[in-house]
Amino acid sequence: MSMCDSHPNLLPENVGVLKSRMGAFFPGSHVIFRGHDLHAELKDMDWVELYVFGITGRRFSAEQLRLMHAIWTYTSYPDVRLWNNRVAALAGSARSTGALGVAAALAVSEASIYGGGISLRAIDFLIRTRQRLDEGTTLADCVNVELEAHRSIAGYGRPLINCDERNQPMLELARSMGLDQGPYLQLAFTIEEVLLTGRWRMRMNYGGLAAALAADLGLSPKEYYLFVFPAFLAGMQPCFIEASERPEGALYRISCADIAYEGRPQRSWRASSG
């Protein structure tokens, strides 16, 4: 049953009406952004502050905003080998536009294993685990249930190397501002201890650390998902620019000899007599 079936007046009530509690544009006059005049009351906000205010409707301290800036900054890698940067670079190599290339790169950043999908799973796991602990469940049970369901713990472990170069500078920054004592961050470290002492030997990665810090800032999973979305953005433009400055179509060329072909052997083709 659709919503229209259960609420027969829904469509008639919304014909010709656009209701919004978020804002409105009044041409030649002003713009309302979550109940505030954008060019008068919010004009001194920096972009991240405005972005987070748009998501949450809440204000954050200067220290909290500095931490949010760092969550983005510390994971903007201009490395064309990364899955999402590769999309931006291929767009540059194909002479597409920067907007299309970067938009596509951001879209694939939602990857469920190592992108936005894992970030959402990480904060959701921390919040669910804390709730279950408050209800009397042991941490070992929480970890085992999650491993049985997903065969991994979002925010822990990393391909190739079991450590994360972003964690230490992020923790040092959080510690310098007194933002390293939150309950979710402490829980994240306790989960790491469980995983390290067990047979899994998985350390917390940047996804787990950033999710814990965000949860301690009061972000819900949905809010965190929307906040962390542009985290890779600053690394994409350099990849696009570099690829667009090189010969067109030269990025990631593969010779026929490098293809492991297991089909039919080479054969002759004759034009049809018909």
pLDDT value, residue 246? 95
Are residues 121 and 213 part of one domain? Answer: yes
Are residues 245 and 150 part of one domain? Answer: no
Reported as a single tens digit per residue, the pLDDT across 42-51 is: 999 999 999 9
Reported as a single tens digit per residue, the pLDDT across 228-246 is: 999 999 999 999 999 999 9
CB atoms inside a 10 Å sphere around CB 93: 23
pLDDT value, residue 164? 92
- Cβ(205)–Cβ(44) below 8 Å: no
pLDDT value, residue 10? 84
Quick check: is 273 in a domain? no
Query: 198 or 213, which is more confident?
Result: 213
Q: What is the mean pLDDT of the chain?
A: 92
Reported as a single tens digit per residue, the pLDDT across 72-98 is: 999 999 999 999 999 999 999 999 999
pLDDT value, residue 218? 97
Are residues 223 and 147 part of one domain? Answer: yes
Are residues 84 and 51 part of one domain? Answer: no
Paired tokens of 83: 């899955």
pLDDT value, residue 274? 56
Quick check: is 41 in a domain? yes
Q: How many whole angstroms separate alpha carbon 82 and alpha carbon 71?
A: 18
- Cβ(239)–Cβ(89) below 8 Å: yes
Per-residue pLDDT at 134 exceeds 60: yes
Reported as a single tens digit per residue, the pLDDT across 139-174 is: 999 999 999 998 899 999 987 788 899 999 999 999
pLDDT value, residue 184? 98
Q: How many whole angstroms separate alpha carbon 248 and alpha carbon 241?
A: 12
CB atoms inside a 10 Å sphere around CB 171: 16
Instruction: Supply the CATH number for residue 135's domain.
Output: 1.10.230.10
pLDDT value, residue 266? 81
Residue 240 half-sphere exposure toward CB, CA atoms < 13 A: 21
Domain coverage including residue 40: 19-55
Close Cβ partners of 242 (under 8 Å, ≥ 6 residues apart): 80, 89, 92
- Cβ(105)–Cβ(87) below 8 Å: yes
Are residues 137 and 93 part of one domain? Answer: no
Mean pLDDT computed over 21-30: 94
pLDDT value, residue 27? 95
**Domains identified in the chain, total number:** 3
Quick check: is 86 in a domain? yes
Are residues 186 and 138 part of one domain? Answer: yes
Q: How many whole angstroms separate alpha carbon 252 and alpha carbon 263?
A: 23
Quick check: is 14 in a domain? no
Model confidence band, residue 1 (pLDDT cutoffs 50, 70, 90)? low
Model confidence band, residue 2 (pLDDT cutoffs 50, 70, 90)? low
CB atoms inside a 10 Å sphere around CB 266: 5
Per-residue pLDDT at 183 exceeds 60: yes
Mean pLDDT computed over 261-267: 85
Are residues 222 and 129 part of one domain? Answer: yes
Are residues 139 and 35 part of one domain? Answer: no
Quick check: is 34 in a domain? yes
Per-residue pLDDT at 4 exceeds 70: no
Quick check: is 29 in a domain? yes
pTM: 0.87
pLDDT value, residue 141? 95
Are residues 85 and 50 part of one domain? Answer: no
Mean pLDDT computed over 208-221: 97
pLDDT value, residue 109? 94
Are residues 188 and 100 part of one domain? Answer: no
Are residues 46 and 180 part of one domain? Answer: no
Quick check: is 6 in a domain? no
pLDDT > 90 in the chain, percent: 75
Quick check: is 87 in a domain? yes
Are residues 197 and 144 part of one domain? Answer: yes
